[in-house]
Amino acid sequence: MEKPPGVSRRQALALVSTAIGGMLLSACGPTAPQSAQTQVSTLQPMATGASSSSAANATPGAASQPAGQPRSGGRLRFAMATDLDQGVEAARLGNAYTPSVFMMFDTLTAYDTQRKPHPLLAESWDWATDNKTLKLNLRKGVTFHSGRELTSDDVKYNVLRVREPAHMQLGGMSAWYTIDTPDKYTVILNSDQPRPLAFDFLEYLNITDKDLAESQDAKTKAGGTGPFKLVEWVSGDHISFTRNTSYWQSGKPYLDELNVAIVKDPQAMSLQLDSGALDAIYTPPLQNAGRWQQDPGFQVSVDDPNGYFFTAAVNVAMPPFDNKTVRQAFNYAIDRKRFADTILLKLGGPGQDLPWPAGAPADEPPKQQKYAFDLDKARSLLAEAGASNLSFDLTFLTIPPELGQLAQIVASDLDKIGVKLNLVPLETPAYLARTAAHDFQITLQNALFSHMEPGTMFNLSGLYRPAPQGTTGFGSDQYTQLIAASQNEPDLARRKQVFSDLNDLFLDECFVMPLALQPVYIVARSNVANVKWRINQAPMFAEMWLQ
């Protein structure tokens, strides 16, 4: 997409007539909290999504939605296409978890749109000027769904719990700290190095009830301090919640009940919304977005800033992708523009080579278009690498459906240069098992967390972790050193140089090949009011009500 001079890429996207949420705002990139002594004691609990005004979530069909006064009561019928692969787990991030079970839990702090932390379960804090010590002062009188009071021991339990192998997304960040609990309402996180990303960790650390998390029924029963309590999870069918009448934020949530249907057929989910059987749905097929956008009976709320990307990833331990030249050839052979224009309807931008959305700390626009589609270049590089008569599986997730359409494009183009692909669609459990076992050669999936700083993404996204933990098996001394610097350097200007060096490495090594931003959004009927997002990409169900 050609953009006017002086207009950012995100603003240019908003000019496209079919764009989801035609009023997408130009996002200011997240900035790290300052390293100066920080003491917060007067801020009120924050209830802010990733958009700081209603305009950020507005669409032509919903622009006239009245602000009004919140109304209590009612049952919201919501749906998503992906089931919970690890049960009702507080420490599982992304996929089906953020739009569902996150509503049971609170975090200690919450970012606003500029990545500045605000109080939640921690009502104030003191952060040392060297970024090595963070003292958290807990809110008194907060209770779990069981009625038991939240204490510093519960926070310590949750920080340590995510170090367990089953919860390794947050384990690397938790390992930064030793934890002191000098009294019932004080938690002190100590590190031997500066940790400028401390509040990134807290943004994703859901506080779960240890009594349930340690029980025999932990997969099907969980509780936190959050606005909604779990009623039941029926695998493959639904997750139901009820209002936490003892929630510490007085008056919230507004909804009495919330049912999350699991509808694996995204088109069927869309039809149920159209028929009135559902009130809201999570990230349905993009092809329907333009129609809903123009219909005053619906509203489209876009998560912005958004850290989801469509990507191709390779197993560098398995031929032919142990050869960097072959990886570069494949990067040239992927038609990002065709995918972005015809499948994503230009909603994910023009396609790009690095995983950062516009305005993110590591975004470098001049480096985003190195691998323009060029089959002749790809053929030449394969010949240079001595790679011929290539044939192998291309695995991909069945949800979102755009991945399957992308797989068809990639297979068709590679066939033109003599590379044969066998398409292998997999549902989430089978896909996760194969990638965890490194049982693939090349795969298509969606990557998460790229709207945060790289140091956070390296912890939360298995795609970018170095070997042996990472999905791709890629690792090097340089990569390890850059990752450490991205997490420990307290000065943002110096971290940005690290980010630039990382971008150069990504473009050279090509073990993960970002393709385009994946739009993440909720389509709701017009009577669903105040649809917002947190910067951790969770819908803020506690803020919604039915008109």
Residue 492 has what pLDDT? 94
Residue 6 has what pLDDT? 39
**Strand, helix or coil for residue 409:** helix
Q: How far apart are the first and last CA of the chain?
A: 38
The residue with tokens 């509808």 is: 263
Residue 67 has what pLDDT? 56
Residue 215 has what pLDDT? 96
Q: Is residue 493 part of a domain?
A: yes
111 plus 205 within the same structural domain: yes
Identify the CA nearest to 278 among candidates 292, 300, 263: 263
Q: Is residue 244 part of a domain?
A: no
Q: Is residue 382 part of a domain?
A: yes
Write the CATH number for 333. 3.10.105.10
Residue 38 has what pLDDT? 35
456 plus 525 within the same structural domain: no
Q: What residues does 28 pair with on adjacent strands?
A: none
Q: Is residue 51 part of a domain?
A: yes
Two structure tokens written together for 275:
């028929």
Q: Cβ atoms within 10 A of the Cβ of 190, count?
A: 15
541 plus 426 within the same structural domain: no
420 plus 529 within the same structural domain: no
Residue 204 has what pLDDT? 97
The strand ranges marked E within 9-60 are 38-40
362 plus 426 within the same structural domain: yes
Q: Describe the strand order of the beta sheet including 228-234 as a list of residue ranges.
A: 228-234, 238-243, 257-262, 75-80, 280-282, 521-525, 298-302
Q: At what angle are helices 324-332 and 492-509 packed, to 10 degrees?
A: 90
| Residue 376 to residue 282: CA distance in whole angstroms | 40
Residue 42 has what pLDDT? 25
Residue 287 has what pLDDT? 87
Q: Is residue 290 part of a domain?
A: no
534 plus 456 within the same structural domain: no
Structural domain total, the chain:
2
pLDDT in tens, 270-299: 999 999 999 999 999 998 888 999 999 999
Q: Is residue 270 part of a domain?
A: no
47 plus 137 within the same structural domain: yes
33 plus 44 within the same structural domain: yes
Residue 68 has what pLDDT? 82
Single-letter code of the amino acid located at 286: L
Task: Phi first, then psi: give them for residue 240, nearest 5 degrees.
Answer: -120, 145
Residue 18 has what pLDDT? 36
| Residue 501 to residue 362: CA distance in whole angstroms | 10
* Cβ–Cβ < 8 Å for 395, 440: yes
536 plus 471 within the same structural domain: no
pLDDT tens, position by position, for the chain (547 residues)? 334 333 343 433 333 333 433 333 222 333 333 333 333 322 223 232 333 233 333 332 333 344 589 999 999 999 999 999 899 999 999 889 999 999 999 999 999 988 999 999 999 999 999 999 999 999 999 999 999 999 999 999 999 999 998 777 899 999 999 999 999 999 999 999 999 999 999 999 999 999 999 999 999 999 999 999 999 999 999 999 999 999 999 999 999 999 999 999 999 999 999 999 999 999 999 988 889 999 999 999 999 888 999 999 999 999 999 999 999 999 999 999 999 999 999 888 889 999 999 989 999 999 999 999 999 999 999 999 999 999 999 999 999 999 999 999 999 999 999 999 999 999 988 999 999 999 999 999 999 999 999 999 999 999 999 999 899 999 999 999 999 999 999 999 999 999 999 999 999 999 999 999 999 999 999 999 999 999 999 999 999 999 9
Q: Is residue 164 part of a domain?
A: yes
406 plus 508 within the same structural domain: yes
Residue 49 has what pLDDT? 31
CA distances (Å), origin 484, targets 30, 58, 215, 288, 456? 20, 39, 36, 43, 11
Identify the CA nearest to 170 among candidates 132, 210, 205, 122: 205
Q: Cβ atoms within 10 A of the Cβ of 147, count?
A: 7
Write the CATH number for 81. 3.90.76.10
317 plus 449 within the same structural domain: yes
Q: Is residue 286 part of a domain?
A: no
Identify the CA nearest to 341 among candidates 383, 386, 402, 392: 402
492 plus 530 within the same structural domain: no
| Residue 332 to residue 423: CA distance in whole angstroms | 20
* Cβ–Cβ < 8 Å for 305, 50: yes
Domain extent at residue 113: 9-218+520-546
